[in-house]
Amino acid sequence: GKDTETGIDVCKLSEANFLRTLELGIQFGKWILLENIGINLDPALEPILGQQKVKDGSGFTIKLGDKTITYNDTFKFFLTTTLSNPHYSPETSVKVTLLNFAITPTGLEDQMLGIVVAKERPDLEEKKTELVVASAKMNKTLKDIEDEILRLLSESSGDVLEDDTLVNQVTNSKQVSEEINEKQVVAKATEIGIDEARESYRAVAYRTAVLFFCIVELTNIDPMYQYSLQWFQKLFSLAVDQSPKNDILEERLQILKDFFTEVLYQSVCRGLFEKDKPLYSFALCSRILTGDGKMDDAELRFLLVGPTADLVEKGPPLPAEWVGKPRWNEILTLAQLPAFKNFNVNFAKHIRGFQKIYDAVEADKEPLPGEWEGKLSPMQRLCFIRAMRMDCLKSAILTFISQQIGQQFVEPPTFDIAKSFADSVNTTPLVFILSPGTDPVADVIAYAQTLGMAKRFESISLGQGQGPKASKLIENAMATGGWVLLSNCHLMESWMPALEAIVEQFNPDTMSQNFRLWLTSMPAASFPAQVLQNGVKMTNEPPSGLRANLLRSFSALNDNLWEESNKPDVYRPLLFGFCFFHAVVQDRRKFGPIGWNIAYGFTPEDLMVCRQQLMNFVNQYDDTAKVLKVLNFLGAKINYGGRVTDDKDKLLISTILETYICIEAVSQKDEYKYSTSGLYHPPEGETIQDISNYIRTLPILPMPEAFGLHENCNITSAQDEAAKLLTGMQSMVSLGGGGSGGQSADEVMDDTAASIQERLPKIFLLDVIEMQFPTIYEESMNTVVKQECLRYNNLLSTMVSSLKDFRKAIKGLIVMTLDLENVGKAMFVNAVPDMWDKKAPPSLKPLSSWYLDILARVQFFQTWIGLGRAPPVFWISGIFFPQAFFTGAMQNFARKYNEEIDLLSYSHKALDNIVDPEKDLLKPPDNGVYIYGMFLEGCRYDTTTHQLEDSRPKELYTSLPSFWFHPIKNRVPDPTDYRCPCYKITSRKGVLLTTGHSTNFVLYIEMKTNKDTSKWIKAGAAAFLALKF
């Protein structure tokens, strides 16, 4: 554009005079580049995009806004967007030519090579630039000479040999051409020498390109993790300047690679949540090793995806009962990797040695039996840990990272507002990414006071109507050099485009150097990408862990608090109880669904309100028992309970609070124990310092019993963390084919599709089923079976059509649509495609297990239909909508005995003498239904004592016996029984209905227990119809 006679102008939609720039460009035939457009284009651009020119005399005119202007044919219009993968409407797409101008690895590598050589060898880069310019000029001169000769030839009349001007021009051009050719030969030789010298820095450029594409993928994890190429290149330039110097080229190159990798890690980590920092470290490590050719695609794919088929069904038998089917499938899949050839045979041979690893607390640090300890590389060892002990995988990955790229990459930097501020300039916004329970406003105010900016500091919490006020604050601060803090940007989505326009217009020459814009926001897709990409991002999460939470709660208190209370002996243990409760309800979230069905964001303000109410009630009333009752209600139902939406969680939070706010805590004081270990109790100290000293004696990593949970919850929690890490890595790292025989990704997907396709069952013939199972008053199960078959038909038909189309598309026979592409991507990582998941019963299983489960479910209904009547015992796990099944069974009873269905409820009798229900239960009960196929988590059912007992170590889930569900009129439940909630899947969470239950909840099952039911409520004991494997 700069080489054109008319030139090029660059503008943005946020500029007030952008239409004027466009107007002048059209009139004078300039090139116009409009930057940073969004998905929706300004309507003012429509006449230009639609080429709405009107013939006017010898030229054209066009209407822009309310003006009619002359249209110059040399006018060109270019638009750019920073959106990573924009989807423009067909109406827009047909009016423009779309070009993918995204940076490529090779292109970025060349750019970074230019930067590093310009910094390290400016003489080389200067010569290179001069040669490029000179070469361009010489080529242009040759072209001009050719054009001039052609012009003279076309204008010449008569004998060209008698045209002195033409002859002289040809003679001169020959001489000039020979001189230019000689110069070009010299220039090329010089350029080869320069390129050889520049190429010595290629390794650094390659590393930086690899790192950039690693951080770009972070946006797949969280929309707030966005970084621009400009920010990245600026950081790289700073790193080159600040890195230690060395005259030896090889050592200098290594210093540059290592120094920039660490600087980038530190800078990015400051803006990541704690949960994502190990993921970023592992992605960084994997990218570097892949770039250096040290990562095997097949091994990486196994680590991240695991088994993609069930090899147990037709494979070798289980070598021991403790191995279990899921683990044996992992080991059989592992044995297909070249490095693990015959590993399954060796595993069975050394079963006792491998059981030692299975039983070890730190399995990742145990040596492997036999020859395998010395044979495996660090990456292969990770694959083994994945197969053997998923709960130890995260620890093993952190060890792997520290071994491969350094310990500093598993020790993320702590929050330091000063460092983040040092990275900023007046045009760079500083963005706090919020998490529940954090409020960085106090940190910013304190830092403003440190730098003497307190008097020039303004803050505002965004909300309805606050936009103009915020704009005015920014405008004033830009002139005076003040600081502006805009809190909670996520609450004002409609104003975010205006904020982006304001930030785009920041001009360092027209604003004070002291100006800073601080922003806080929860993760939100509406937050402007431009602000995120060029801003300095920070996170400051509240302390995690029981001890850290307790210390934080008491750090805000002082001993004057005791003087405000007229009953300090009552107030002190109850205050500690509330603080302990606050720590427990927050830290239970790390255990996932067994901790809370829904993870709630409790805040320090919740505790502060409880603390104030405690002081008021203890001071005003003498009846401690009544005070405790009121405090329990206010705390569990309002202050904390106001956030709680799930009815099972409401019961849990009430039960937890009653453990700490009770008469025993007041009367027994430090003799009263919060948990079975006896470590946790109200401290006997009388000062804040005494209490803090007691808190510091508590374990940094508390056992689950501190929360009322079983020790197995540590395993569940660790497995979930590892699974999330691997799932995140799938979107961060480009997976190769990794199939047997070095298959490509397309071949792996096609093979997976073919294996599913060939075993797909036929859809149910609904017309035949309608004749077999007509809708009759006496048998509601006929309606149930027809509805179930209809649901499975919807799923099967979707699978049939999508698999058929996908296999055609992957061969290039039809167009690969976005939906089909997503089906392939999901199959490649052994996940259930969204298209199928929407039509299928809820499931957390990987694709290989999910498909077998669907086959078993369909087979169950085929058997039902084959019988011509309802089976004597029902596999409850196979029923798509079990709530309808239980309602149907209740209706049958109500209609049989002419009872009101509202007066009926189920009694639940465990048939723990039944070993194989399909063989032992050949006749249905007179009333009600027999069911089987449920599982327990958080406890186990003992067939000897016929009641609930504590889980055994490492037994995360156990099978429940068959049950007889028997409807009874006006039944009075036994208050000592535990009402065990039953869910469809282990996530427990679902869409909340108006009943207060979620779509995942099925019903309560009353089970016998000789322990207080509060034990099982706090333990998160629940039944499920389907597991994760």
Q: For the residues of 266-333, what is the DSSP string, one character each?
A: HHHHTTS-GGGHHHHHHHHHHHHHHHTT---HHHHHHHHH--SS--STTSPPPSSTTT-HHHHHHHHH
Band of residue 4 on the pLDDT scale cut at 50, 70, 90: low
Band of residue 997 on the pLDDT scale cut at 50, 70, 90: low
Q: Is the pLDDT of residue 739 over 70?
A: no
pLDDT for 247:
85
Instruction: Give dist(CA 311, CA 315) in Å, integer.
Output: 5
pLDDT for 312:
85
**Do the bridges between strand 1022-1024 and strand 978-983 make them parallel or antiparallel, or are there none, so unpaired?**
parallel
pLDDT for 36:
82
Instruction: Give dist(CA 773, CA 869) in Å, integer.
Output: 8
Tens of pLDDT, residues 111-127 = 898 888 888 877 766 77
Q: Is the pLDDT of residue 350 over 80?
A: yes
pLDDT for 935:
95
pLDDT for 742:
60
The CB-side HSE value for 235 (13 A sphere, CA atoms) comes to 26
pLDDT for 101:
80
Q: Is the pLDDT of residue 477 over 80?
A: yes
Band of residue 2 on the pLDDT scale cut at 50, 70, 90: low
Q: For residues 436 and 601, is the Cβ–Cβ distance under 8 A?
A: yes
Spell out the SS3 assignment of 11-60. Answer: EECCCCCHHHHHHHHHHHCCEEEEECCCCCCCHHHHHHHCCCEEEECCEE
Q: In this predicted model, which residue has the larger pLDDT, 986 or 104?
A: 986
Q: In this predicted model, which residue has the larger pLDDT, 171 or 453?
A: 453
Q: Can you tell me the mean pLDDT for 313-319? A: 87
Tens of pLDDT, residues 407-433 = 999 888 888 888 889 888 889 999 999
**Do the bridges between strand 483-487 and strand 457-461 make them parallel or antiparallel, or are there none, so unpaired?**
parallel
Tens of pLDDT, residues 14-63 = 777 888 888 888 888 888 898 888 888 888 888 888 888 888 887 888 88
Which of 497, 295, 311 lies closest to 377 in space, CA to CA? 295
pLDDT for 771:
92
Q: For residues 838 and 875, is the Cβ–Cβ distance under 8 A?
A: no
pLDDT for 324:
87
Q: For residues 401 and 369, is the Cβ–Cβ distance under 8 A?
A: no
Band of residue 1008 on the pLDDT scale cut at 50, 70, 90: very high
Band of residue 161 on the pLDDT scale cut at 50, 70, 90: low
Q: Which residues contact 87 (CB under 8 A, 6 or more apart)?
A: 39
What angle (nearest 5°) sits at the alpha carbon of residue 780, between those of residues 775 and 786?
Answer: 60
Report the sign of the C-alpha dihedral through residues 222, 223, 229, 233, in that order: negative
Q: For residues 632 and 654, is the Cβ–Cβ distance under 8 A?
A: yes
Which of 338, 356, 263 lies closest to 298 in space, CA to CA? 338
Q: Can you tell me the mean pLDDT for 179-195? A: 74
- State how far the alpha carbon of 350 is from the alpha carbons of 126, 641, 969, in Å: 66, 53, 58
Instruction: Give dist(CA 307, CA 299) in Å, integer.
Output: 12
Q: Is the pLDDT of residue 929 over 90?
A: yes
Query: Residue 560: what are its φ and ψ, rounded to 5°?
Result: -65, -20
Across the chain, what does the average pLDDT equal? 88
Tens of pLDDT, residues 70-99 = 888 888 999 988 777 788 888 888 888 888
pLDDT for 228:
87
Q: Is the pLDDT of residue 786 over 60?
A: yes
Instruction: Give dist(CA 728, CA 278) in Å, integer.
Output: 10
Hey, what long-range contacts does 652-656 have (CB within 8 A, 24 or more apart)?
Answer: 652/596, 652/1017, 652/1018, 652/1020, 653/585, 655/1014, 655/1017, 655/1018, 656/581, 656/584, 656/585, 656/708, 656/1018
**Do the bridges between strand 59-64 and strand 53-56 make them parallel or antiparallel, or are there none, so unpaired?**
antiparallel
Band of residue 735 on the pLDDT scale cut at 50, 70, 90: low
Tens of pLDDT, residues 875-893 = 999 999 999 999 999 999 9
Which of 420, 424, 379 lies closest to 397 in space, CA to CA? 379
Query: Residue 993: what are its φ and ψ, rounded to 5°?
Result: -100, 175
Range in 219-228, 500-509, 730-739 the model is least confident about:
730-739
pLDDT for 171:
76
